[in-house]
Chains A and B, each alone.
Chain A
Amino acid sequence: MTLRRRIGATIPYVLLILSVVPIVVGYFWLVLSSFSTTTEGLKPVGGLTLENWSFLREPPFGRGYPSIWRVTLNTFVVALSMTIAVVLVSALAGYALSRLNFPGRKQFLSLTLILHAFPSVTLLIGIYFVLRALQLYNTVLGVGLVMIGFELPFGVWLMKGFFDNVSWDMERAALIDGASRFRVWWQIILPTIKPGIAALAIFAFISGWNAWLIPRTFTIGAGQQATLAVYLQNFMGDTVAVQWGAVTAVGLFQLIPVAIFFIFTQDLLLSIYAGGAKGGV
């Protein structure tokens, strides 16, 4: 390869490395800080320590507060139930929009995109009243339903895209044999879009795991039912000086499972957008 070609070939690498510098620096600090007492810039001051990670053993705030493992369990349960619900509801709706003909179908489709224009802030104000009317304010169920609802525009659109790409033949055969629509959906079609389901599940799960604004606004955070993100806030009260080390440690604790999970499923996730958006030829 000529010299010029060689330089040309390295340009993408150089550009990419430059682009990730802020990210690398930031996350390096995150990890460093969780193992230090204090840091100045990127230098740990006062030596490295495992003290910040003591929350793994005992609740750092005293008896009244739940242990991190309880909170993690809460978060996991919330995220998992939300994921299952999102996938089921979206798959049902996506199937209807892809396969069935009924009045209002086209409108509902355009709707899924326009819904994204509704600012979540608007909805928070109105949802507050809805939850109170349903007597679900300040309950896990209420918060869960809201979070499921928020994922639906994306989920339905995604599922519909996947259903569109499934061939009609198997369905037709099953329907001729007398199976009900629901049975066809459950036993035949769903298994064929497993990648799509997996992808949606991953996004929904991550969304549930990291959820902060919704739980905080509808105040389920405080006691034994806290989820990780809200629990984190206890470390950052206004009256107490922020203990960076402890906060970053808990934050990393919340981030690491998701990051690892994501690394192993990245390939799968690329397929969702290929399934939904019209790209290539």
Chain B
Amino acid sequence: MNVASGLERGGTPPLSPAHSGEETSSIGARLRSYVEGYGFLAPAAVLVTLFFFIPVVIIFVLSFSNLDATNFGTLKWWLPANWGLENYVKIFGNKFFPKILANTAFYVVATLTIFNFGSALVIALLTTLIERRVGFFFRMLWLLPRLTPSVIYIMMWQRIAAAAPYGILNQLLVPLGIGTGDNLLQTWPWAFVILANGMIGASFGMVIFTSAIEAIPRDYMMASKVDGASTWQTIRHVILPLIKWPMLFVITYQTLSLLTSFEQIMLLTDGGPGLYRTEVWALTAYHRALSNYFGNNQWGYGAAWAVILVIIGVVAAIVYMRVFRFDELVQEPRIDLL
């Protein structure tokens, strides 16, 4: 009798998924949606855990040990007994520590302002002002550095800066009496580090800003022209406010990119010329741990450098996200249960 009562109303089973808007979703249905969610997320979550989280934990632990090439395989670095703070003491006591820190700050701020944000914005504005196809062409050129294999790209810059008679810049400057024809990487290393990295970095912001600008309805531009605004005024009062979010995003993302980038610097100057002239923090971590810079790999020491960089980066990311209120961009999920 009781069994039949559930089937009285036309045979609908009592545990069917609730319709949208109804509060009574059964536990079964809710659980199933959790499982679905985790299932979809699983491959990404596994890879991210394997290659982001576990490594971070590993280097965190490593930074407390003094693992290097001599005791690799013998030192049980995962045992707390072998842990100590020597690496961190060594870093703060390192006489080049202030220089490396200053270099990193200088590099990030300069490249971000001049290129990754500055040039990106300027080029985006310029190429959307002029005829579409021509703008296309110039953006293509600015994208070339990003598409080029880094080894080739840096070699190009090395040639530009090289000493006479091979160097391209010197070929122009020496006959004009400027400079001595020396390798410009020796005399102006920072200019080239910033230039080379910047020309790659700018294309990211450039593409984002261009899309954002092109998404602005034509009516706004028309209206401002009808009102007699000059191009500059249109830019300042119409375009820029409307691309606020992309601008904030690019600043955040590129700051982090610059903080952690070192591949081009390594290829271009390898931190030189001389001692640590263009050495940035990320490069130091790589040098200590993974290259035979000092003749042996200092895993523990290099890990310590890396840990500090991660902390700086994560703090910066969180600060940016709070200040720029990124969580407002996060939408609530669409309906998940029927």
Chain A contacts to B: CB under 8 angstroms:
8, 12-13, 15-16, 19-20, 22-27, 29-30, 33, 39-43, 88-90, 92-93, 95-103, 105-106, 108-111, 113-130, 134, 145-146, 148-150, 152-153, 156, 164, 168, 171-172, 175-176, 181-182, 185, 206, 210, 212-213, 217, 228-229, 232-233, 236, 244, 247-248, 251-252, 254-255, 258-259, 262-263, 266, 269-271, 273-274, 277-281
Q: Assess the A232–B149 pair: CB atoms within 8 A.
A: yes
Size category of the binding interface on chain B? 35 or more
Q: Assess the B211–A271 pair: CB atoms within 8 A.
A: yes
- Which residues of the partner chain B approach A217 to less than 8 Å between Cβ atoms? 290
Interface string of B248-262 (1 = CB under 8 A from A): 010011001101101
The smallest C-beta distance from A8 to any residue of chain B, in angstroms, reads 7
Q: Assess the B152–A149 pair: CB atoms within 8 A.
A: no
How many CB-defined contacts (below 8 Å) exist between A and B? 335
Q: A130-B54, A172-B338 are in contact. Are A92 and B166 (CB under 8 A)?
A: no
- Which residues of the partner chain A approach B134 to less than 8 Å between Cβ atoms? 13
Chain B residue with the shortest CB-CB distance to A90? B44
- Give bound CA distance, A206 to B79, whole Å: 42
Q: Which of A97, A252, A278 contacts B329 (CB 8 A)?
A: A278
Q: Assess the A101–B59 pair: CB atoms within 8 A.
A: no
17 additional A-B residue pairs with CB within 8 Å, beyond A148-B47, A266-B143: A20-B141, A26-B159, A26-B168, A39-B166, A41-B164, A96-B36, A100-B33, A114-B314, A119-B310, A122-B310, A145-B47, A236-B151, A248-B155, A251-B148, A251-B149, A263-B140, A280-B242
Q: Assess the B211–A279 pair: CB atoms within 8 A.
A: yes
- Which residues of the partner chain B approach A130 to less than 8 Å between Cβ atoms? 50-51, 54-55, 58
The smallest C-beta distance from A97 to any residue of chain B, in angstroms, reads 7
Chain B contacts to A: CB under 8 angstroms:
20, 33-34, 36-45, 47-48, 50-52, 54-59, 62, 119, 122-123, 126-127, 129-130, 134, 136, 138-145, 147-152, 155-157, 159-160, 164-168, 170-172, 195, 199, 207-208, 210-217, 231, 242-243, 245-246, 249, 252-253, 256-257, 259-260, 262-263, 282-283, 285-286, 289-290, 299, 302-303, 306-307, 309-310, 313-314, 316-318, 321, 326-327, 329-331, 333-336, 338
